[in-house]
Amino acid sequence: MYLCTGKHNYELRTMNYELLLAIVGRFAYEGTVSEIKPLGEGLINDTYKVKTAEQDKPDYVLQRVNHNVFPDVDMVMRNIDAVTSHIRKKLAAEGTKDLDRRVLRFIPAKESGKLYVKVEGEFWRLMVFIDNAITKQAVNPESSRAAGKAFGNFQAMLADIPVQLGETIKDFHNMEFRLEQLHDVVKRDPAGRVKEERVQNMLAEIEKRAEEMCKAERMGREGTLPKRVCHCDTKVNNMMFDQQDNVLCVIDLDTVMPNFIFSDYGDFLRTAANEVAEDCPEMDKVQFRMDIFKAFTEGYLESARSFLLPVEIENLPYATALFPYMQCVRFLWDYLSGDKYWKCQYPDHNFVRANNQLHLLLSIEKSYPEMQAFLDALAPRRAF
């Protein structure tokens, strides 16, 4: 059976039980499988919960990795292996007891020892299920502070990782590349949408800011801004909490790769501090929430300031603007391409998303002085 759900135009398939069982059997897991059923609402990967009959054996999560989005699954899993092993070692050295709840544990394949198997052209992986844990969809200042601290801590723990990680999606958050993609589709105009007046107006807004928004790439080339290991998909639902609301660990590690730290900081605020969803069509309701900004920034700096350079802290307001801008460019690119990347529920959906992100950017621009003042108070420039 073929399902077409979610916002990406990827094909998801429900699998038959026997095949799933055979796939699980290729991993060196412990226990006897008693049940396999679909889990969660992930839009990119297919996910199943694998229960074991024994009380003292863990349950597992089986996942099919979407290799349309992640072309080099071997690289994805090598990155994840390096990252989870490094974090595990650090936590163990600190005396952390419940390690399997504090960092994801992937199970190696029996034959190859790799953290994935390939079956009928599809890639699968198995990890330990973290029980009695929850994920959250919405944020308030408290959970934003916790998220800031957790993502900052994730970066801090990985600051001294001894291996060079691969770029699992090339140029994923490279603003110059995203603009080139847009310019290219404008030239080709495959969907005949470039002539729309609203598109022309949006393109003008984008061009006005293009040079400023590409400054991270320029600083990177000049050698003044480092790349560090980042998560690159820092949504609040990519984090597990225990029943008492403590953060357990960061999940969804496919996009972990070297990047400017702006990615993790900016993309969280893009998604969490928007008063409405990223595809809300009522533009007058789109607004940037300063309470979320402040709480997240406090949490983030608490755990990340030990390794951040002054130039990284100074540019956090820029990072806040960069991600709505980049997402506006990406959604407009997809609209002009004829809606190939994100799944659309109606013909204008991608344009509405792009417009929403542009309005978020406008709201952020208005808050710039307040953001800067807040940061100056929190991290006085001379004290860096």
Query: Which positions lie near ligand GN1, rule CB under 6 A?
Result: 43-44, 69, 233, 278, 327
Q: With respect to ligand GN1, which residue has the nearer C-beta, 159 or 277? A: 277
Q: Are 187 and 341 a contacting pair, CB within 8 Å?
A: no
Q: Residue 259 or 367: which CB sits closer to Mg ion?
A: 259
- Of 13 and 89, nearer to ligand GN1 (C-beta) is 13
CB 293 within 8 A of CB 320: yes
Chain centre to alpha carbon of residue 126: 20
Q: Between 252 and 267, whose beta carbon lies closer to Mg ion?
A: 252
Q: Which is nearer to ligand GN1, 215 or 343 (CB)?
A: 343
Rounded to a whole number of angstroms, the minimum distance from the CB of residue 278 to ligand GN1 is 6
Matching residue, tokens 């095949």:
19
Residue 43, binding choice from ligand GN1, Mg ion, none, Cβ under 5 to 8 Å by partner class:
ligand GN1
Partner whose footprint covers residue 334, from ligand GN1, Mg ion, none (CB < 5 to 8 Å by kind): none
Range 332-354 burial, b when 16+ CB lie within 10 A, else e: bbbbbbebebbbbeeeebbbbbb
Shortest distance, position 268 Cβ to Mg ion, whole Å:
13
Cβ neighbours of 289 (radius 10 Å): 19
Q: Which is nearer to ligand GN1, 217 or 279 (CB)?
A: 279
Torsion of CA 342, 347, 350, 354, to 10 degrees: 180
Element (H, E) at 332: helix 316-337
| The two structure tokens encoding residue 134 | 């929850």
Longest dimension (CA), the chain: 63
Nearer residue to ligand GN1 within complex by CB, 46 or 233: 233
Minimal distance, residue 328 CB to ligand GN1, in Å: 11
User: Residue 205 CB, nearest distance to ligand GN1 (Å)?
Assistant: 19
Residue with nearest beta carbon to ligand GN1: 43
Residue 327 partner contact from Mg ion, ligand GN1, none using kind-dependent CB cut-offs of 5 to 8 Å:
ligand GN1
H or E element at residue 211:
helix 197-213
Which residue has 């310019």 as its token pair? 183
Query: Considering the complex, what minimum distance in angstroms separates the CB of residue 322 from ligand GN1?
Result: 12
| Binding partner of residue 46 among Mg ion, ligand GN1, none, CB cut-off 5 to 8 Å per kind | none
Q: Which residues bind Mg ion (CB under 5 A)?
A: 233, 252
Categorise residue 99: left if φ over 0, alpha if ψ from -120 to 50, beta otherwise.
alpha
């990284």: which residue's tokens?
A: 312
Q: Which residues contact residue 177 at a Cβ distance below 8 angstroms, ignoring those fewer than 6 apart?
A: 171
Question: Closest CB to ligand GN1 among 303 and 355?
Answer: 355
Picked from Mg ion, ligand GN1, none, the partner binding residue 264 (CB below 5 to 8 A depending on kind) is: none
Q: What's the CA gap between 332 and 349, in Å, rounded?
A: 10
Residue 91 contact among ligand GN1, Mg ion, none, beta carbon within 5 to 8 Å by kind: none
| Cα distance between residue 146 and residue 136, in whole Å | 12
We find the least distance from the C-beta atom of residue 265 to Mg ion, in angstroms, to be 17
Contact partner at residue 69 from ligand GN1, Mg ion, none, CB < 5 to 8 Å by partner kind: ligand GN1
Q: Answer whether 374's CB lies under 8 Å from 294's CB.
A: yes
- Output the CA angle 371-257-123, nearest 5 degrees: 135
| Minimum gap (Å) between residue 252 Cβ and Mg ion | 5
Minimum distance, C-beta of residue 43 to ligand GN1, in the bound complex (Å) = 5
Q: Which amino acid type is present at position 54?
A: E
Token duo for residue 27 = 């991993």
As measured in angstroms, the least distance from the Cβ of 327 to ligand GN1 is: 6
Say which entry of ligand GN1, Mg ion, none residue 279 contacts (CB below 5 to 8 A, set by partner kind).
Answer: none
Q: Which is nearer to ligand GN1, 161 or 329 (CB)?
A: 329
Query: Is 37 buried (19+), middle (13-18) or exposed (0-12) by CB count in 10 A?
Result: exposed
